[in-house]
Structure 1
Amino acid sequence: MATPEATRNYFKRLAHKEIPVHSIRDFGKTGWQVSSIGFGGYRIRHDSAEHARALRYALLNGFNLIDTSSNYGDGGSEMLIGNLLHEMFERDEVHRDEIVLVSKVGYIQGQNLRLVQDAEARGQPFPEVVEYADGCWHCIHPEFLEDQLSRSLERLNLPSLDVYLLHNPEYFLADAQKRGELDLAAARERYFMRIGEAFRWMEEKVAEGKIKAYGISSNTFPAAADDFEFTSLEEALRAAETIAEDHHFQVIQFPFNLFEPAACTRKNQANGGKTLLELARERNLATLANRPLNAMVNGGMVRLASFARSDPQDIRQEFDKYLAILSDLESRFTADLLPGLPDDLSKDALMQVFSLSQQLSNALEMFPSWEHWDHVRQNYLMPQSYATLSYLDQKLAENPAWASWSRAYAEALLVFLENITRKYENDAQKRSVQIERQLDSLDASLRDSETLSQKALQVLTSVP
């Protein structure tokens, strides 16, 4: 686990990096010192060499705070982090007690959803599961937390975590409002009863040495106090205090970015007398900002980043070229490969997967924004296509015709998708330039930061 002394020594050891003093923060009452900017694991994939290089660079250059979750990359985020940390510990590049590692629990998606559904089918369901939507359930009952902590530690290849957070427990409130079975007072009473049970379990894990501190990551900490899904920090503190006077509820996480400043502007605590950050500072809680570069605006997302610009004519020419290549490859698959595939494979499903030249024939015009396109590409197109290719590569390992086609298709698809991305990056960059100009006009010091991401983070880290 992280220790106060080791986290301080980490920054002393990297003194030659000339890390600014304001880039090092005390982490609440834990005694740890951490970098003001952490490494976020949301999009991290277990098989990405690029992501591993980025994390290694961060750890070697003054970023000793890592934030991940059991559902990021369907567990792949924790897996990559664990694998890389193990390698770096073995090489003596960093030490375990210098690093503050945060993970989260609660989401039931992907392999966790299958796990919970299998348990239900066996007649041994996890208690208090919130079936919020197809493909997205939630649970913070101690039985589920026990299962999930062991899985997270196994993926991380570690015996313990520094911080363990309940991940968006407000799904219970959202579900209660949707169902209309509880009024606001009853829903909140039951909500904090569940949180209290989870806290009691977490105190047991602290005593066992499995975690050092715990807390809540909630998108509704900064919400208006009368919002049905509002998570009150005061009530969460009361829940912890009923369990132990010297409790270990020491960390909170919430959205905070240029477009969502409510954590420091909305007085939703102490009967409207304090903001979330004011109360957290008063109680010496460590605070983590999530989505610092992904702002939710008018129901959509705005990525606070600068994007490369490309020649629109080049984009169109490349699009037409690779659309034709994909179309030819998919026609060859249907005519030459599909008839000879084993009968246990769903040929209709495979034809759907390998029909992207039809599905994306109008891709340069069909998406409203870069954010929408990126969501579809990252969460649907690439996982579905490359997971299917990988599965068939193993199943058809002795088929040279398939191997040749698979390599060609994977390469062409990657270029095709990247080219579509270039078009939407052009659109997004126009908006980013406008935001940059507004920021520069408000604070001349921001002009020294080259990208919108740097400017956005500079503003956030200036908040005490």
Structure 2
Amino acid sequence: MTNIDEHTMASLQRENANRMVALPDGSMMPQVGQGTWYLGEDPAKRQEEIEALRLGVQLGMTLIDTAEMYGDGKSEHLVGEAIKGIRDQVYLVSKVYPHRASRNEILAACAESLRRLDTDHLDLYLLHWRGNVPLSQTIAGMEQLKAEGKIGRWGVSNFDIHDMQDLLSMENGNQCQANQVLYHLGSRGIEYDLLKWQREHNIPIMAYSPLAQGGRLREQLLESEEVQSIAKKHGVEAIQIILAWCIIHPDVAAIPRSSNPDHTYLNAQASKIRLDEEDLKLLDGRFPAPTFKTALDIL
């Protein structure tokens, strides 16, 4: 693992700690966090994954996002172990399955997540995606959890604009604090309408897979002449440019996943990169924003 001197550690911690996203309830959420999809599923990687998460917290990426779905609870168990002794430094987010989001079942689901995470509360609890349970029931359950102090606030995930409109039309639907969706340089569909609509309602976006899921698309992003040239200009890695692009807006948070401390360090450094107008113009030219409505990308 890369050796990080105290000065660099402190500098990155300050930079990331100062990057916050304002939520509708007036509270603040870290802009750069850590995702945990697939973490906790391979016992051989467990210690390295824990080290990566703990390093991320040390470097100021104090938001950790998980879900009961990830590894059928294995991810939450791993996160619980990783944050042992530092829970008060962490902004903890988890997500409930849609089929468990009814008025009463969501109470049990949250209790189980809290047990696996070895904590008494979540800072933010999200509905993982919209299912068959009426949103009114989910909202009522979320509000009860909030009143009981089990969660600080709640939000949703994988909601497109019509889902958000439905949500806000319901009683207490305006208590939604965030919408977590797929968003990165190669997947900009939300810019056509959802991102604008949420800005009008002061509801921030949480970008999952901000570095793009592994595969051909990520390779196209990383190997593009534009990303390579911008990375060379700033003296950083191509993947850091992709993350720096995602957090260019103050109302967009990002939760890159890393199971490796070296990669965690690269993610933390991305917050110090300042892309200029020339950089953004190049990236827009190669990976343009959409000019028509597309279906919400979901992994």
TM over 0.5: same fold? yes
Partners of 2:33 and 2:186 in 1: CA distance: 20
* Matching of residue 159 in structure 1 with residue 128 in structure 2: no
| TM-superposed deviation, 1:461 | 1.0
The residue type equivalent to 1:104 in the other structure is: K
Identity of aligned residues (%): 26
Residue aligning to 1:276 = 194
| TM-superposed deviation, 1:292 | 1.2
The size of the alignment, in residue pairs, is 239
Residue aligning to 2:291 = none
- Contact 2:182/2:207 (CA < 8 Å) preserved in 1? yes
Residue aligning to 2:143 = 203
- Contact 2:160/2:194 (CA < 8 Å) preserved in 1? yes
Give the number of the structure whose residues are more often helix, by fraction: 1
CA distance 1:200–1:432, shift in 2 (3 Å): closer
- Contact 1:160/1:210 (CA < 8 Å) preserved in 2? yes
The C-alpha deviation readout for 1:378-417, integer Å capped at 9, x for no partner, is xxxxxxxxxxxxxxxxxxxxxxxxxxxxxxxxxxxxxxxx
Partners of 1:80 and 1:282 in 2: CA distance: 37
Q: 1:67 aligns with which of 62, 65, 68?
A: 65
Partners of 1:61 and 1:22 in 2: CA distance: 8
1:161-180 equivalence runs, <5 A: 161-169=122-130, 171-172=131-132
CA distance 1:32–1:54, shift in 2 (3 Å): farther
The C-alpha deviation readout for 1:18-64, integer Å capped at 9, x for no partner, is 63379602331344444322110112116411100000100111111
Residue aligning to 1:29 = 24
**Alignment RMSD:** 2.7
* Matching of residue 291 in structure 1 with residue 209 in structure 2: yes
The residue type equivalent to 2:204 in the other structure is: A
Residue aligning to 2:79 = 81
- Contact 1:294/1:302 (CA < 8 Å) preserved in 2? no
Residue aligning to 2:156 = 216
* Structure having the higher Rg: 1
Q: 2:223 aligns with which of 415, 434, 443?
A: 434
Query: What stretches of structure 2 of length at least 5 have no aligned partner?
Result: 1-8, 251-299
Residue aligning to 2:183 = 256
The C-alpha deviation readout for 1:194-213, integer Å capped at 9, x for no partner, is 01111011111111111111
Partners of 1:49 and 1:22 in 2: CA distance: 25
Higher relative contact order (CA 8 A, sep 6+): 2
Matched residue SS, 1:211 = coil
Residue aligning to 2:283 = none
Partners of 1:21 and 1:74 in 2: CA distance: 30
Matched residue SS, 1:212 = coil
| TM-superposed deviation, 1:432 | 5.6
- Contact 1:294/1:303 (CA < 8 Å) preserved in 2? yes
CA distance 1:238–1:58, shift in 2 (3 Å): same
Partners of 2:17 and 2:55 in 1: CA distance: 20
Residue aligning to 1:144 = 105
TM-score, reference length from structure 1? 0.47
Partners of 2:71 and 2:40 in 1: CA distance: 6
Partners of 1:212 and 1:15 in 2: CA distance: 28
TM-score, reference length from structure 2? 0.71
1:8-407 equivalence runs, <5 A: 16-17=11-12, 19-20=14-15, 24-45=19-40, 47=43, 48-86=46-84, 89=85, 94=86, 96=88, 98-106=89-97, 138-169=99-130, 171-172=131-132, 194-218=134-158, 220-221=159-160, 231-239=162-170, 242-243=171-172, 248-264=175-191, 266=192, 275-294=193-212, 302=216, 304=218
